[in-house]
Amino acid sequence: MSSPSQIAQTARDRFGFESLRPGQLEAITSVLDSHDTLVVQPTGSGKSAIYQIAGLLIEGSTVIVSPLIALQKDQVDAIEDQAGSGSAAALNSTRTVAEMRADLARVREGKIDYSFLAPEQLRKPETIEHLRQSNVSLFVVDEAHCISEWGHDFRPDYMRLSSVIEALGHPTVLALTATATPRVRAEIVRRLHMRQPRIFVRGSDRPNIFFRVDRFKTEDEKREALAHRVRWADKPGIIYTGTRKAAEQIMHALADERVNALFYHGGLKRQGRQLIQDRFMAGDAEVMVATNAFGMGIDKPDIRFVYHQSVPDSLDSYYQEIGRAGRDGSPADAVLFYRPEDIGAQSFKAGEGNIPIELIQRAVNRIAEDERPIDTGSLAGELHISHRRLWSVIQRLQDAGAIETLPSGEVQAAASGHSPDRAHAAARAQEEQRAARRERLDQMRDYAESTGCRREILLQYLGDDYRGPCGRCDNCQARGAVSRPAGNLSGAP
């Protein structure tokens, strides 16, 4: 085991860190003690330094699962700038087959200390086999909230990570995320099969962000007020909306107000989305109007406002999105433009994801009748559903103990149980999730309609023992509460 002084010396000599930030030493020590570890800390607080430093102080290699290629590239560049060229590699779809095989060989030979992979790369048996032979001692799951279907950025490929971890002999697991409620933390621990984990959570308060809710009677009234507010607001800023159509309409409405805006949603081609994002990040536009497809990996420190034209599906999503404001520590605004009818619209949209028990029954029967594992792509085709919808079915069946997911991403029936029982257990699990969705929308309504301190509502939801008044929300100011100093805090949810 390395001492605190050895950890500090490694941080200084290899990465140029004059001192460790709050929370880093405890998390690094936990990992070096071979404890599975979950770290919940704001963006900008130095979570990546935890695995960078720990990876140099343990025998074997470090694997980092990261969902975005751009994030992988940034991390590889940062490590190689400090630890030396060739010490890190990104194994993703931008590499040719020959380059991937050469890098995997270097990993297997112990020539690469840090291997960054997108979760879909772990579907490939060849990748798993190379990692098996590379003495992986630390398995890092970045953006760990993506494993939760009920969090704000569910990624189906994250669901197979537990089987990958077991296939590698369960190396020490380090899960990292910027925000996670106690419920999501528990789900991360359960789905990654973390063993007696140590959990480190640092405060999520962003005192430089002012919270506000504006209420409207009609959608037209709301949209007009939004355009007017944006015109006179300090910029740059982000507007989140619930539909692709609304994103485009609002962008055109802002153009009429002489606001230079762009729109962004999942219906655009990948190359087009990247170009739009790059323009906004470079300052070529004042405002981004987007669905929740815009967000992960966005670290533009000078965003002065985040406005929500529609109600998010949960306080998790809301806090994650408003956390993109004011990362430079200067004052910023988070405003929800609200109509009570918005909750009903969001409830209807959430209900569209319900899975009929007949589909669950068909899936479990098909899996049970085959003695060999089944490829999920083939299964989705046989059932005539999307791959994402299939993974929702698989998650229900896993929760019911009906099936198992292999490191390859294939699925097979669990050793015991009858198909009808499995399907009904999965249906019960779905009903529990539906109830949880309704509860989250009720919490979103309570926030929007509350006359209490909004910061207190948000932070207590995240598990923080915060007590208002904050003086930095519309309700506290209406009651004449004294504003607390905003400070100059960097980092965001």
pLDDT digits (tens, 9 = 90+) for 259-274: 999 999 988 888 888 8
- CB atoms under 10 Å from CB of 431, counted, come to 12
Residue 389, domain CATH: 1.10.10.10
Q: Evaluate whether residue 367 is within a structural domain.
A: yes
Whether residue 195 sits in one domain with residue 61: yes
Domain of residue 400: give its range.
357-437
For the chain, give the mean pLDDT. 85
What mean pLDDT is predicted for residues 211-224?
94
Domain membership flag for residue 469: no
Q: Are residues 167 and 221 in the same domain?
A: no
- Average pLDDT value for residue range 57-80: 85
Q: Does any domain span residue 110?
A: yes
Q: Are residues 381 and 303 in the same domain?
A: no
Q: Is 418 exposed, middle or buried (0-12, 13-18, 19+ CB in 10 A)?
A: exposed
* d(C-alpha 376, C-alpha 378), whole Å: 5
Confidence of residue 153 (pLDDT cuts 50, 70, 90): confident
Do the domain assignments include residue 37?
yes
Same domain, residue pair 381 and 317 = no
Query: What mean pLDDT do residues 268-282 have?
Result: 90
Identify the pLDDT of residue 352. 52
Q: Is residue 457 part of a domain?
A: no
Same domain for 129 and 237? Answer: no
- Confidence band (pLDDT; 50, 70, 90) for 204? confident
Total domain count, the chain: 3
Residues 168 and 221 in one domain: no
pLDDT digits (tens, 9 = 90+) for 446-455: 999 999 999 9
Shared domain for 293 and 377, answered yes or no, is: no
Residue 56 has pLDDT above 90, yes or no: no
Same domain for 14 and 161, yes or no, is yes
Which of residues 160, 176, 201 is at a domain's end?
A: 201
Residue 11 included in any domain: yes
* 119 and 183 co-located in one domain: yes
For 287-306, the pLDDT digits (tens) are: 999 998 887 777 899 999 99
Q: Is the pLDDT of residue 30 over 70?
A: yes
Domain boundary among 175, 201, 227: 201
Q: Is residue 271 part of a domain?
A: yes
- Residue 229, in any domain of the structure: yes
Per-residue pLDDT at 417: 54
Compute the average pLDDT of residues 307-328: 91
> The tokens 């929370």 sit on which residue?
23
CATH assignment of the domain containing 334:
3.40.50.300
pLDDT value at 483 more than 70: no
User: Are 197 and 213 part of one and the same domain?
Assistant: no
Indicate the residue among 201, 224, 254 that finishes a domain.
201
Name the more confident of 262 and 12. Answer: 262
> Which tokens in the block code for residue 426?
């999965």
* Same domain (yes/no): 194, 300: no
177 plus 219 within the same structural domain: no
> What confidence score (pLDDT) does residue 377 get?
81
The stretch 252-264 carries a mean pLDDT of: 93
